[in-house]
Amino acid sequence: ITVETPLPFHLPDDQIRPLRQLVDDVFQKKLEQKLRANKTWARLIAKKKMAVGVVDLSNPAAAKFARMNGDVMMYAASLPKLAILLGASQALADSVLPASPDILHDMRIMISKSDNSAATRMIERLGFERIADTLMDERYELYDPEYGGGLWVGKRYAKQGRRYPDPVMGISHGASVTQVCRFYYLLAMGKLVNPAECERMLDMLEDPEIHHKFVNALDRIVPDAKVYRKSGTWRQWHADSVMVWGPEWRRYILVGLIDDPKGEQILRNLLPVVDELMYVR
């Protein structure tokens, strides 16, 4: 497998399992040691104000997962626009939405530029119920009440509008690192909607136009890597998610959720630590 190997993969359905079944004990222990070596991170993790999830995709047929506070659902600002992207892709495949230039443009800029107006227009086209049904579809299970919730969009990305908070935590724009990692994992494996829609979603996520947090670090460490990404920021909540498809060994998913005013810098510093972990695995 090289950086030129196209995503998504096409593994048989029987090889796709919930990430909680792919937790690797050695990988998990190394992640815990790396994160707890930083006293600030250790304190935030203990208070459930920092969550991190990592998927090693170096061997796609034997992916490895490790996480800290994996099922802790947190406010994630714009990161859950991933849920709108999936809802829209499902609606396109089901012929509920037309693949019009306006719709495809809104899907792209709500991801690459995190455009709130575009995201709100997509929510209005889809409706909260359709988005929630897609997230809870048994094929995806990206929101699962038995495991703390997960990805959720329950409010327009605008000052006005009714809230449809998630059933477990009552959050309008929420995520857990396990479920966001699962989004990228299923996407990489071609299992979100269908392979053609996975290709479309990958195109939407590639080459982000906002270069902060994880992408700031990647620009310095491996500027030639392919990067699929969605982030979010509001007040003290900082969220980022990325699938790195780089040269040589850099093939992984990283998700971080931080509830701390210094979350932007924490996420910038987190990426190199995890990147090093992937190298020495």
State the DSSP string of the chain.
Answer: --TTSPSSP---GGG---GGGSB-HHHHHHHHHHHHTSHHHHHHHHTT-EEEEEEE-SSGGG-EEEEESTT--EE-TTTTHHHHHHHHHHHHHTTSS---HHHHHHHHHHHHS--HHHHHHHHHHH-HHHHHHHHT-TTT-SEEGGGTEE-EE-S-SSSSS-----TTT--SEEE-HHHHHHHHHHHHTT-SS-HHHHHHHHHHHBS-S---HHHHHHHHH-TTSEEEEEEEEETTEEEEEEEEE-STT-EEEEEEEEESTTHHHHHHHHHHHHHHHHHH-
Which pLDDT does position 281 carry in this prediction?
54
Residue 214 has what pLDDT? 92
Mean pLDDT by 10 residues, the chain (281 residues): 67 90 97 98 98 95 96 98 98 97 98 97 98 97 97 95 95 98 97 96 90 90 92 97 87 97 97 90 54
What's this model's pTM, rounded to 2 decimal places?
Answer: 0.96
pLDDT of residue 2: 46
Between CA 204 and CA 110 the distance in angstroms is 9
pLDDT value at position 1?
43
pLDDT at 279: 84
- Residue 253 pLDDT: 98
